[in-house]
Structure 1
């Protein structure tokens, strides 16, 4: 029986090549989109599951309320670790303080600048690092060093790295005592290329920090069995209150399972994050697959008259309706199976480009049994969905009417097909409008004035001690080379603030008001180098010794303090008075979608760790860099010359939105393609069905234009209905999405007008080929059989 079903299904496919091609092509594209999105979602949902202790690992998060704003961040204070062990040891199995950063590793002539972590001995065990050589126990040695496999290979090649010496930041020699497997790309700590022991003397300035207000470290924990994260968080919620009375601060344990997908916080509680993208693309994948299934349903039911006699004869000789349903479902599954073969080829070809757009390293898990079980279920499910309506519709024909020739599809028989076309284009139009709004939001944020000139700025990390103390000489050499207009030092780049503090006082400050400010320490040439805009007072000056320690506030800081005419007045911080020399225009250094953080810039050249260079715009960038590099190597021979373009770092702030926009663009284009493919098939069938009518009309004098309009108007009408439905739906969805941003673009009328005009044009182009082809046909051919 099954063999018979397959044989009949295959014959129908071969006999109706155009119909078969449209079905298989549409289904394969829809299934390819669904599979790509499925692989992407699987990668997102499996984040951090590489760690065996995944369910019990957490990070200590700090929530502070100041400036009428509640902020949650992942750094904490060093003394908290001991407090957890002393008071709540029953809840915490392991804890580990960490502090990340970029360091120089040197072995012989090989020098690498890599991201690493200072960590307490418990971290390798908490993360269940897969040790290739050595063991966790060796990490207790203050001179030990654990390397990732790729870093060990880069430093020592194929030689055994154990007990080899690596020089750290050209300061201290470390001994390699272990090599661990590189962390996968779908782990939060991916990119951690080495671990350094927390109790090493080179880490003295962090380990000895006993202050309860210096939030400069991360604290990872592993809970004891049967300890709930909510219970642990409730226990330690106010643990810092006795030691930091001036700050409204609470502590919580944030579980690893939420790090990636639920990293956004509101009022101190996890409130979503990338999980929104997972839901969004999951829904898109389902809808795109549904569009492909709709094509199959439409074309199968549209050709019902051609299968009607087959159904009538089968019923007349004893076939049951259930048998016919099985036959048509079997044909559907056959089509889906053939489409799936093409789908695998499409996915395999598209994966490199998809990974590039999505910033992923997704692969097809060929050897995973679950993948193939899911795939077979996917084929079966898609076959049932796409074939269910045609199967029940075709199997319901009455054999008496069919065999008498009295069966004709009524006008109402086309209503379900028309409704499905409307659904197809409604989904496609919503995707198009959403894509336009996303890119407008990115453009809006990127065009927001940032308060300084980021083009032509490069930032270099001060990784080794040799580079310190040569500020004047290095600056003079860079300017003399002609490659740089100016140079400055700072405690951060222009694209982040990094450090926030409370404890500032000023005249007129309200009692109990202790706002949080961003803190940036700079050399005197910082403002001139980055091109900030002074709106009141003056810039820092190297010719005024009293400027050392002086403050410059940004506009948000002045507004927050309420200080009238701040220039010349003082602010008290860390036991000293600091004169305010000027006010600078707000600069976007954090998220371009949020309000500017109140920031204090302090002239403190001995608290800096980055060099910022303004490259000469009159010189080609590569030429300028080739002249800048020797200057850095002259004063910092122990480090490779590595730099970052500030405008590239700023562009990364839009990366999530850009990826979402790029993926949405691809999916919207494919949705339109699938919809148009179905429309083309429907237009082909309609033209075939009305071929004699067209012949009669031509004989009676109808023009080609009139016939084209006759055949096209129904399809355009369906698209217009789709537009009327999609417009309010898209507006509501995108309006809600934009509310996530403090600064966002509006949704203007031209977005809908452009989408409407484009969709109608695409529809006309799709159906016009068949319409004009039918209108140009010689009426003699279509009427000679009458």
Structure 2
């Protein structure tokens, strides 16, 4: 019997090819999106679960009050680690200090710059590294290094790397004591390509050993592992004054409050505002999850709409079946099997679509997810959902139509659709287009917000600006010779050193004093150390005063402020004002236009520029516009290798680094576009099917109207009017929903676009045009039909 059910179901699918295609195409598209979103969400919520101690690892962070607001810093002072061990050790199994670093690793002629970190030895147990060579005890040797599997292969190929000697930054020999498995992309330590002992960093960096006040520099990360029974909130409360009780009165004004941030929240709950955790990427998990759910809902609505619409044509079939002896249960089973077969076809096609789209989706979402074909839970969830969808979609024809009496059906009086029979389908169409229009409006607003921030003046000229990281001091030592050769070669027009790139800031200070400053005010100013010609190189704009110049020997004790700093200090005439920094007097020689250094969506922070003769963290060059970029970089590489052959030549274009600040929002916009297109596509499939069904139902009516003189335009209007009304209702519903949601989303940006009324109108008009295009094919086709054929009796 079951075999017979499937055979009849398959014949019905083949017989109604258009209906079957629309149903399967729409549902499979929705299912494919649900699969991709499900994989993305699982990757997000399972972040860091690679580490077996995931639920007990924490990062020690602090809230501090600066510039009148509570800021949250992941960086902490070095002595805090020992304070936690000594005074609160009963709550911790491990406490380890860390310093991330980009270093040159070299072995013979091979030299690469890699990102790694200096850790205390217990980090290997905390992160439960999977050792491929050596043991987790490898860091207990002072001059040791652990390499990731990929880095080990880069240097040594298939040879055994253990006990090989590498150099760090061309000055320190280290022995390879272990190789660990590359950490996955969904780990916050995924780019940890090497690990060296903290003691090695301490002994090779004099500034760490000779800090006048070790509690002042917040330059280190501290990670810890709690004992099994410890509660994160309780331990955070216990240690909150661990720093406050040890610092000077000046630093105590910052009201430092130490707390623990658990690894389970690092990825999804990483944003703090005024000392309160306000979420983070979790909002995107919800956003994408809801979007995927809505796209799937649209597909299911299509499926149910078309299934119920077509089932009304099968009333006589039910009557005949019952007349020849079929039981109601057999008819119920038949309809359920047909729905289930269609859903299973859709699920199989959805898996194929998801696999084909996955590379594009990974590129769009910046992921490396894959379908876990071997995971039984995934199959169980997918098949379970398919069965549920089939049961829901088949419930109307199965339970409703099977209840009719065969005599009444065959006489033509047992099945009358009635005035309200189509109401549920109309409501579902309204839901479909409400979701679609909302997604369209959301996509437009996301891209307008990106455009709004991109149009914000940067404050300097990034065209042709290239940053070259400096790991050693050779280029600084030969700076004049390097500049001379590069200028004479025509590769560049300007070159300067700086403590950080124009798109980042690596230093700040709270030891600034000025006239009329509130003695109780705690501050935090960005500090950027620069060389002569820095301003000329990046093309900043001097608002008042002048730039640093070699003509003035006193510029070594001069400062340049940005507009935000001058405004914050309340300096109406800043030029010539005396500012004390670490107690030493400095003169303000200039004020520059505010430059966007960090987020383009937030307020610019007070910044001071200080002239220094020490080596900078980066070199910045301005490429000669008369020379091609590749030619200029090739000449620059030749000169740099001449004076510093031990360092790999690396560079970043400033405009590309600045563009990366918009990556997150661009990714949201691209995914929103993807979802909006799919939502519209699925909704149009459903409307196309319903329009076809309505035209088929009204064939004789159309024929009579044509005989009585109705034009094609009249008939098109009659058949399209209903769908236009439904879409207009959808637009009215979606407008307040999208406005409320997007207004809330935009609030997190200090600089944000406005929700203009024309966006809502344009989205509605767009949806209306798409609907008319979809419906017009069936409407015009029905209107052009020969009335003789449509009025002919069966």
- TM-score w.r.t. the length of structure 1 is 0.97
Tell me the SS of whatever aligns to 1:591.
coil
Deviates more, 1:188-197 or 1:543-552: 543-552
Q: Which residue of 2 aligns with 1:212?
A: 215
Q: Which residue of 1 aligns with 2:290?
A: 283
2 CA distance for matches of 1:122 and 1:450? 44
CA contact (8 A) 1:521 1:605 kept: no
2 CA distance for matches of 1:525 and 1:382? 68
Q: Which residue of 2 aligns with 1:543?
A: 551
Q: Which of 236, 240, 243 is the matching residue for 2:239? A: 236
* Cα 1:449–1:746 shift into 2, 3 Å: same
Residue pairs, 1:269-668, within 5 angstroms: 269-315=276-322, 324-406=331-413, 407-606=415-614, 608-668=616-676
Tell me how far 1:396 sits from its aligned partner: 4.3
CA contact (8 A) 2:476 2:615 kept: no
- Paired residues, number: 786
Give per-residue Cα distances to partners, 1:717-739, cap 9 Å, x unaligned. Answer: 11111111111111111111111
> Tell me, which stretches of 5 or more residues in structure 2 are unaligned?
none
1 CA distance for matches of 2:465 and 2:397? 63
1 CA distance for matches of 2:387 and 2:71? 48
Tell me the SS of whatever aligns to 1:288.
helix
Give per-residue Cα distances to partners, 1:47-86, cap 9 Å, x unaligned. Answer: 0000010000010112111212111121111111110111
* Cα 1:614–1:314 shift into 2, 3 Å: same
Q: Which residue of 1 aligns with 2:67?
A: 67
Tell me the SS of whatever aligns to 1:199.
helix
CA contact (8 A) 1:454 1:647 kept: yes
2 CA distance for matches of 1:207 and 1:300? 76
Deviates more, 1:553-562 or 1:422-431: 553-562
Tell me the SS of whatever aligns to 2:214.
coil
* Cα 1:410–1:361 shift into 2, 3 Å: same
Confirm or deny that 1:722 pairs with 2:725: no
Q: Which of 691, 694, 701 is the matching residue for 1:686? A: 694
Residue pairs, 1:40-189, within 5 angstroms: 40-189=40-189
2 CA distance for matches of 1:393 and 1:634? 85
Deviates more, 1:18-27 or 1:709-718: 709-718
- Aligned-residue CA RMSD in angstroms? 1.6
Give per-residue Cα distances to partners, 1:168-204, cap 9 Å, x unaligned. Answer: 1111221111101111001111111101111113244
Q: Which residue of 2 aligns with 1:202?
A: 204
2 CA distance for matches of 1:392 and 1:655? 51
CA contact (8 A) 2:599 2:661 kept: yes
Give per-residue Cα distances to partners, 1:585-631, cap 9 Å, x unaligned. Answer: 11110111111111111112316211111111222211111111111
CA contact (8 A) 2:473 2:615 kept: no
CA contact (8 A) 1:198 1:207 kept: no
CA contact (8 A) 1:134 1:162 kept: yes
> Tell me, which stretches of 5 or more residues in structure 1 are unaligned?
none
Q: Which residue of 1 aligns with 2:30?
A: 30
Tell me how far 1:516 sits from its aligned partner: 1.1
1 CA distance for matches of 2:329 and 2:262? 52
Q: Which residue of 2 aligns with 1:776?
A: 784
1 CA distance for matches of 2:733 and 2:403? 32
2 CA distance for matches of 1:263 and 1:535? 37
Deviates more, 1:402-411 or 1:160-169: 402-411
Tell me the SS of whatever aligns to 2:522.
coil
Tell me how far 1:390 sits from its aligned partner: 4.4
* Cα 1:297–1:617 shift into 2, 3 Å: same
Tell me how far 1:38 sits from its aligned partner: 0.3
1 CA distance for matches of 2:96 and 2:396? 59
1 CA distance for matches of 2:449 and 2:397? 43
1 CA distance for matches of 2:496 and 2:41? 44
Deviates more, 1:244-253 or 1:318-327: 318-327
Confirm or deny that 1:785 pairs with 2:766: no
2 CA distance for matches of 1:327 and 1:468? 82
Deviates more, 1:662-671 or 1:373-382: 373-382
Q: Which residue of 2 aligns with 1:702?
A: 710
